[in-house]
Amino acid sequence: MTKKIAILHTSFVFVSVEPAINNLIEELIPDAEVIHFVDSDVLATVVREQGISVKSAERMTHLAQAAEAAGADIIFSACSSLGPALDVAARHVTTPVVKIDEAMAIRAAAEGTRIGVLATVATTLGPTSDLIQSKADETGRAVTIEKRLCEGAFDVLMAGDRAGHDALVVGQAADLAKSVDLIVLAQASMSRLADVLAKETGLTVLTSPRLGVEFLAERFAELPVRA
């Protein structure tokens, strides 16, 4: 029987407007059955409240539990902003949970010394930076992390203006590059710009979707085949 991947989304934007994750799974794990679970308002709630409340964490737990009830063999969280909530959710399900930015954080901690974290949503800066720091601590590497918010870019993207979003991100990345030796893009919605930013800044620019799905593919391959 085909093994199932459940993807947890926090906005319909990442299902329809920015389908990079779906495309990567189709490319890297073509034999998987993919099911989607969406709470289309929880990211907006976290942004509005400037943090993850107990209720928001509960909503992600409910998504994970729904995915498990649907027979998912592995759960993939597609949202970096809700990373800490997924740590909570993982304690309430027996199905393995993989976060999209885990592999990126591991690589950033291994390769960078002065790491710039660039985000378009303020609530992603803390979780992404904390995850990188924790991976550095695990390996005993000393790193400094500079957080940079690209104000207004996410609202521009949500309004459907990709070009406007991209211009804002490129400008911030160029300025951030003056004081760091590696840049991490904190959100999957920024991933399209990785090559452009690497060329613009001359630095390694890490983004989560491909690294995250490659890590998911490794975990998926290790799953037992269901009878």
Determine the Cα–Cα distance for residues 131 and 134; give it in Å rounded to an integer: 5
- Predicted local distance difference test score (pLDDT) of residue 59: 95
What is the DSSP code (8-state) at residue 31? T
- Predicted local distance difference test score (pLDDT) of residue 40: 86
Which CATH number describes the domain made up of 102-207? Answer: 3.40.50.1860
Determine the Cα–Cα distance for residues 218 and 215; give it in Å rounded to an integer: 5
- Predicted local distance difference test score (pLDDT) of residue 13: 61
Residues 6+ apart with CB under 8 A from 222: none
Structure pTM? 0.86
Query: Collapsing DSSP states into helix, strand and coil, what is residue 20?
Result: helix
- Predicted local distance difference test score (pLDDT) of residue 15: 61
Kindly report, as residue ranges, where domains of CATH 3.40.50.1860 are found in the chain. Answer: 4-100+211-222, 102-207
- Predicted local distance difference test score (pLDDT) of residue 189: 77
Burial status of residue 31 (CB atoms within 10 A of its CB: 0-12, 13-18, 19 or more): exposed
φ and ψ at residue 113, rounded to 5 degrees: -115, -50
Determine the Cα–Cα distance for residues 215 and 209; give it in Å rounded to an integer: 10
Provide the residue-wise pLDDT of the chain in tens; the chain has 227 residues.
789 999 998 876 656 556 778 889 999 999 999 999 999 889 889 888 888 999 999 999 999 999 999 999 999 998 888 888 999 999 999 999 999 999 999 999 999 999 999 998 888 899 899 999 999 999 999 999 999 999 888 888 878 888 999 999 999 999 999 999 999 999 887 888 999 999 999 999 999 989 999 999 999 999 987 66
What is the DSSP code (8-state) at residue 18? -
Which CATH number describes the domain made up of 4-100+211-222? Answer: 3.40.50.1860
Determine the Cα–Cα distance for residues 49 and 162; give it in Å rounded to an integer: 25
Tens-place pLDDT, residues 55-77 = 999 999 999 999 999 999 999 99
